[in-house]
Amino acid sequence: MTTTLRPWAVRSGAIALAALLSPLASAPTQAADHADSPTTRDDPAADLTDVYAWHAGSKLVVAFGFAGLSEAGLPAVLDSGVLYTVHLDNDGDNASDREVYVRFGQNGRGDWGVRVENLPGVAEPVVGPIDTTIDAGLDLRVFAGLRDDALFFDLDGARLTQRSGSLMFDDTRDFFAGTNITAVVLEMSIDAVAGGSDTVTTWVSTGRR
C-alpha cells in the first residue's frame, strides 16, 4: 500500500509541526521552530523544534526533537512531567485517530528511561534506557536521547537576503552547527497506522502535568 503523509500544524502546549512526504520521495520536508516566546523557551523540555516523518518499507518513522540550541557537551533535557503525543489521522478530518504517548522517567538509581505507549503494531508499552536503540518487537525500534541538530539553516544568509533583496545564502554556514537537541525516533507499522487509508496526517504536541 502507498501512503501519503499530509502536512498539518497546530500549536498545543509549546508547538506542534507536521512533516510532509510524497509517495515517491526519498526524503521528507520539515518545518523548523527554534525560537519561541520567552514562556516557551523557559520550558525547553516541552519546546518542540522539528518533526520529521518518512516511509521505510513497511514502517512509518516519526522523529521529533525538543530543547533546541543546546550546547554540545550538555546532557539531554529530560522531564518526567512532560507528555509527548504523536497524533495520527488516517481519515482526513484533522483529528487524531490514534495517539502515541512518550514519557521519560527515572529508576531508583536515577537512570533515565523512556516509555512509549500505543505504538502502532505493538501491543505492549515499549520501555528502555535513553541513548539506546530499543527493540519494540515485530522489527520495530524506538530511540530517545541526545542528538546533533539535524536541521541545516543559514540564518545569517536569511537576514542578509532580507535586508538586501538578493539571495545571499552560503551552504557552508550552518547556524545550528555544534548544537544538540533531545530527540525521539519511533518506528511503527504503517499498515496499523493507515488502517486501510492511503493518506496519513501526523503531528506532535506536548503537555505538562
For residues 161 and 167, is the Cβ–Cβ distance under 8 A? Answer: yes
Name which residue leads in pLDDT, 28 or 54.
Answer: 54
Cell of 4: 501519503
pLDDT-derived band at 26, boundaries 50, 70, 90: very low
Q: What is the mean pLDDT of residues 140-167?
A: 84
Higher pLDDT, 2 or 84: 84
In this prediction, residues 25-34 reach a mean pLDDT of 43
Confidence of residue 17 (pLDDT cuts 50, 70, 90): very low
What's the whole-number average pLDDT of the chain? Answer: 80
Strand partners, 99: 87
Please give the pLDDT value at position 8.
38
Instruction: Give the residue numbers spanning the domain of 196.
Output: 4-208
pLDDT classification of 176: cutoffs 50, 70, 90: low
In whole angstroms, how large is the CA radius of gyration of the chain?
17
pLDDT value for 103: 97
Residue 71 confidence (pLDDT): 72
145-162: buried (b, 16+ CB within 10 Å) or exposed (e) per residue?
bbbebebebbeebeeeee
Listed residue (80, 82, 89, 86) closest to 100, CA to CA: 86
Give 85-102 pLDDT, tens digit per residue: 999 999 989 899 999 999
Contact 68, 155 (CB under 8 A): no
Query: How far apart, in Å, are the Cα atoms of 105 and each of 84, 95, 115?
Result: 13, 28, 8
The model's confidence at residue 138, banded by pLDDT at 50, 70 and 90, is very high
User: Is the separation of the CB atoms in 133 and 116 below 8 Å?
Assistant: no
What pLDDT does residue 157 have?
Answer: 76
Given this model, what pLDDT does residue 184 score?
97
- Alpha-carbon distance of 25 to 55, in angstroms, equals 9
Q: Which three cell numbers stand for residue 76?
A: 539531554
- Is the predicted pLDDT of residue 54 greater than 60, yes or no? yes
Least-confidence region, from 29-38, 56-65, 110-119, 177-186:
29-38
Give the count of beta carbons closer than 10 Å to the beta carbon of residue 197: 16
User: How many domains would you assign to the chain?
Assistant: 1
Q: At 15, is the pLDDT very low, low, confident or very high (cuts 50, 70, 90)?
A: very low
Q: Note whether 197 and 10 are within 8 A (CB).
A: no
Q: Are the C-beta atoms of 156 and 171 separated by less than 8 Å?
A: no
